[in-house]
Amino acid sequence: MSEQFGFFNSVYMLIFKISVIAILYLYFVKFEIDQFIQDPVDYFFDLMNQFDIAQYSLNLSIICMVIQDVYLDRKIMEDSWKKAFYAIACFCMWIKIYYLMRIFSQTAHFITLITRIVDDCKTFVIMLTIILLAFANFYYVIDMGDKDSNYVGLYTDNNVMNVLMEMYFVSLGNFNIGSYSNGANSGIIWVFFILASFIIVVVFMNLLISIMGNTLNDVIEV
């Protein structure tokens, strides 16, 4: 008898949880639908609306995964992938809370400033990505198949990811130069390292500071 009541209790609890989640989910989705009806074109070109669509889709996928895994005992994904989905969903929810801080007068100016900076840096990000890929391609070719050089750090099992991460660390000023004097191509490696450190760290990072400063002045004037 207790097992039967436990079964019904679990079913009722499942229905209750799904109902609460569905009501809250539909409540927030309704706002997105209303915005879409008012102006469909502007809705899709707005960055935060794109973020909301991705967030709601991700949350819906997680709800389905939890129901399948916990209540229906059907494992549809590896635990490592599920953890990644859960972590990304939590991060997106915190970003959403961060963006909602614009409704308060004390924080609205700060949110506007960050949004404008991100928007003004689009061209900068494209140009920085091109120059990073250029140096990454050089490092990939010069380090390919040379076991004595190890010009690129071993961060993952994938050589492409290693050179991309190497260039990312260079852009942050974290230089892995311990093995640059090894191998037959040490001279050209040092030349390209100096070029990369000057162009990426000095030129592009100072350009980024300049862009942020101009955006700050524009926001203050408004």
Rounded Cα distance between 43 and 45, Å, is: 6
Q: Which among 103, 137, 171 is the end of a domain?
A: 103
Please give the tally of structural domains in the chain. 2
Residue pLDDT, tens place only, 130-172: 999 998 888 888 877 666 667 777 777 788 888 888 888 888 8
Q: Do 94 and 127 belong together in one domain? A: no
Shared domain for 99 and 161, answered yes or no, is no
- Say whether both 194 and 135 belong to one domain: yes
Residues 31 and 92 in one domain: yes
State whether 138 and 200 are in the same domain. yes
* All residues at 6 or more sequence positions from 28 whose CB lies less than 8 Å from its CB, including other chains: 56
Same domain (yes/no): 126, 99? no
- Please enumerate in sequence order all residues whose Cβ is within 8 A of that of 153, keeping only pairs 6 or more positions apart, or say none: 162, 165, 166, 169, 176
pLDDT in tens, 112-124: 888 888 888 888 9
Cα–chain center distance at 31:
25
CB atoms within 10 A of CB 4: 8
Are residues 91 and 131 part of one domain?
Answer: no
Q: 184-206: per-residue pLDDT in tens? A: 777 888 888 889 889 988 899 89
Q: Are residues 156 and 208 in the same domain?
A: yes
Taking the C-alpha atoms of residue 79 and residue 77, their distance in angstroms, rounded to an integer, is: 6
Q: What is the pTM of this model?
A: 0.66
Q: Are residues 148 and 58 in the same domain?
A: no
65 and 156 assigned to the same domain: no
Do 86 and 13 share a structural domain?
yes
The verdict on residue 116 lying in a domain is: no
- Pick from 103, 138, 173: which residue ends a domain? 103
Query: 167: Cβ–Cβ under 8 A, 6 or more apart, which residues?
Result: 132, 133, 135, 136, 139, 196, 200
Residue-level pLDDT at 149? 64
Domain that holds residue 192: 122-221
- Does any domain span residue 147? yes
Do 137 and 88 lie in one domain? The reply is: no
